Amino acid sequence: MSMTSMATTALARANRAAVDKATAALAAVSAKEFSSSAMPAEVVLDAAVSDANKLEKKHFEIPEPLMMGPGPSNPYPRANDAMSKALLGHMHAPMFPLMDEIQTGLKYVLQTENEATFGLSASGGAAMDAAVSNLLEPGEKAVVSVSGIWGERFTEKCLRHGAEVVQIRKEAGLTPSFEEIEKVLEEEKPAVLFLCHGESSSGTKQKLDGVGELCHKHGTLLVVDTVCTLVGEPFFTDAWNIDLVYSGAQKCIGCPPGLSPMTYSARAMEKVMSRKSKPDIFSFDVTEVGRQWGFNGDKRPYHHTPPINIMFAMREALQIVSEEGLENSWNRHLNAHYQLWEGLDKLGLKPFVKNPEDRLATVNCIEIPEGLDAGKLIANAYDKFNLEISGGLGGTAGKVFRIGLMGYNCTPRNVESVVTAFEDGLKQQKFL
Ligand code: GLV
């Protein structure tokens, strides 16, 4: 036996003895209490608690960088402040109108009238799990577009779920064309097609117009990931006939992470309702979640305890987006994107995505010039300007820098700061 496991066993034995002793002490007190009906003056439990992992009493400094990477972005201060309101119980009456308002605001940003629109209590990545779990039964087929990490993840989740996967593979920086998608749908007739509107690992944008109709012609449901695009790029759930959309709170919506927008079309809900087996993740089952959110039956019973303070923040962030107006928000993101590239171009930096039409406004990928120490430039930006520049992810790691222009952070002034940080980093390494 190793020293570590011997020590662990000894600790477990000591703890067991301490627990037995405490249980006996409690039993004795209870017996006395019940026999004499007198309250004990004081109970002192003498247990051998290990102090090994006790936190020291000290101030824990949380830095406040300007987060210009692919997310999370700094939330709107009003959304942040909303979280400090006193906690409400999730079954208390005022929570239901709050949830209704979140639904309305989400319908606006998703441009949908789908009843099944809500915030999933989880990360955007977990909303992807929810999509797989609800729309695919084991043995069914999904066609998955893969040109970066999110297609790889969707594939992995389908396989773990027992679904079959056919991939449309493209190099990072490219997206499949309408014709390529049409061909594979005709051949495979899958239950689900997965497309990523914004592939944040490479900075590419997938064209979606017309794909929904194509899917429905082949009996396929269209699932779209909008984690890094919703509110930052034009997006129309209903007009584009998309069956399931999920997103994240912490990017262009300008809310802290934890409540992920989701919407299911009537067609997607029909599929869920007519499944042979129930969705395998209870917490994400849209029929169960829908009862609490009020779109599956009149009663609103308990399903789970959501991140209530994040819901306060989400309502406020959706209010801010509504005040600005979606078109204005899309324009603000696009103009910041042009401003960024104008500045980077002057520094001799090149976009990773070659076709301008395929470039995301929200997550911008910049080729790392040959010979430049990318880590050093990122560290310089953080140390000197308190500004986050991110590296690549998955297949683009070591090849690109990533700059997020999202939500509250997407301002001309912040773009200037990013360009200044690049200029300084390039000068430091004698690239300028
Ligand atoms: C996360 O969403 C990332 O793109 O890094």
Number of structural domains the chain divides into: 2
Q: Is residue 347 part of a domain?
A: yes
Query: Are 155 and 183 found together in one domain?
Result: yes
- Determine whether the shortest distance from the Cβ of 292 to ligand 1 is under 6 A: no
Q: Any idea what the CATH number is for the domain that residue 330 is in? A: 3.90.1150.10
Query: Are 189 and 274 found together in one domain?
Result: yes
Q: Is residue 71 part of a domain?
A: no
State which residues form the domain around 280.
77-324
Phi/psi zone of residue 137: left (φ > 0), alpha (ψ -120 to 50 degrees), beta?
Answer: beta
Contact 230, 109 (CB under 8 A): yes
Residue type, 265: S
Query: Are 235 and 380 found together in one domain?
Result: no
Average pLDDT of the chain to the nearest whole number? 94
Query: Are 274 and 243 found together in one domain?
Result: yes
The residue to mutate among 247, 251, 365, 393, having the most atoms of ligand 1 within 8 angstroms of its beta carbon, is 393
d(CA 40, CA 61) in angstroms, rounded, equals 43
Q: Any idea what the CATH number is for the domain that residue 272 is in? A: 3.40.640.10
Per-residue pLDDT, 41: 72
Say if residue 411's pLDDT is above 90: yes
Tell the residue nearest (CA) to atom 4 of ligand 1: 200
Cα(150) to centroid(ligand 1), Å: 9
Summarize pLDDT for 286-340 with one digit per residue, the tens.
Answer: 999 999 999 999 899 999 999 999 999 999 999 999 999 999 999 999 999 999 9
Q: Which atom of ligand 1 is nearest to the CA of 227?
A: 2
Name the domain boundary from 281, 296, 324.
324
Query: Are 118 and 263 found together in one domain?
Result: yes
Per-residue pLDDT, 154: 98
Crossing angle of helices 149-160 and 124-135, rounded to 10°? 40
d(CA 152, CA 84) in angstroms, rounded, equals 37
Query: Are 101 and 217 found together in one domain?
Result: yes
Query: Are 217 and 276 found together in one domain?
Result: yes
Q: Is residue 412 part of a domain?
A: yes
- Determine whether the shortest distance from the Cβ of 70 to ligand 1 is under 6 A: yes
Query: Are 333 and 317 found together in one domain?
Result: no
Query: Are 348 and 301 found together in one domain?
Result: no
Per-residue pLDDT, 46: 78
Q: Which residue has the higher pLDDT, 384 or 30?
A: 384
DSSP character at residue 245: E
Query: Are 127 and 243 found together in one domain?
Result: yes
Name the domain boundary from 266, 296, 324.
324
Query: Are 335 and 266 found together in one domain?
Result: no
Query: Are 330 and 405 found together in one domain?
Result: yes
